[in-house]
Amino acid sequence: MEKDVLLRYARLRSGRADAIISRITEGKSVACGKGCAYCCYGVTLWLRKIEVFFLAHSLNRRKPRDRAYFAGKLRRYGNIYERESERVGYRPKSPVKEEDLDTEKLGIIGGLAMNEVPCPFLSEERTCEVYGERPIMCRLTLFSDREVCRKDWENPLAFLWRNEIYPFIEDIKVRFLPVFRREMEKIRVDLGVPESWEKDIVFITDWLRFDPVKKVFYIREDGKRLVP
Ligand code: SF4
Ligand code: SF4
């Protein structure tokens, strides 16, 4: 697959997602903003292949030294994830289909076992280092009250996520997904992007690789190295 076409698709995908979310949330009180990042801890980065491709593209635009820095962060994050998923007893093999992922078990790994583990893309200033290329799940994680998010992060066993935050997100998600999927399906077919890029879900460190000599991120697709 031509990487320029994939990149075009990934950009259109982000643009459409932002436009639809902003339309759906118009008039809704949303407290999210720069520096607020309680939701960027304990994330389990099971992402669509096109999202990993877009993140790799973002990382490869940085200086080699910064790329190596992110490779180190991803490696550490991946190691913690492997340890905790083993402890919980749930580690699917990439790629999987969305319907085959056990979101409850992923919630246990992320929200409980890895609650204090930051996303590898969270900066020390608590901002997202890949903001423009962040996955859809991050764009949809919105809430009306930072205090509730803080309390949820401090004490996940209060189940504020399940009882307050998630229903807010779910309300946006059920309106977002049908529109987004319809629009993207048309764009995907028009551009000739294979369905697997949208449907296959992979764990980030299963698929995103780093070449320590050339200092570039790549993914392996159809037995070939693809450098986004
Ligand atoms: S979802 Fe919560 S923690 Fe995340 S940015 Fe919004 S208010 Fe902050
Ligand atoms: S990719 Fe960015 S927005 Fe998403 S969890 Fe990581 S730091 Fe947060």
Would you say the pTM of this structure is higher than 0.85?
yes
**Tell me: the pLDDT tens digits for 42-93?**
999 999 999 999 999 999 999 999 999 999 999 999 999 999 999 999 999 9
**Tell me: the pLDDT tens digits for 148-178?**
999 999 999 988 989 999 999 999 999 999 9
Residue 150 Cα: closest atom of ligand 1: 3
Q: Say how far apart CA 164 and CA 138 lie, in whole Å.
A: 17
Q: Which amino acid is at 111?
A: G
Give the residue whose CA is nearest to atom 6 of ligand 1: 32
Q: Which residues contact 32 (CB under 8 A, 6 or more apart)?
A: 141, 142, 143
- Residue reference for tokens 């083993």: 86
Contact indicator for 221, 210 with CB cutoff of 8 Å: no
Residue 1 has pLDDT above 80, yes or no: no
Q: Please report the pLDDT score of residue 221 as a whole number.
A: 84
Pocket lining: 151 vs ligand 1, CB cutoff 6 Å: no
* Residue ranges covered by each domain of the chain: 3-220
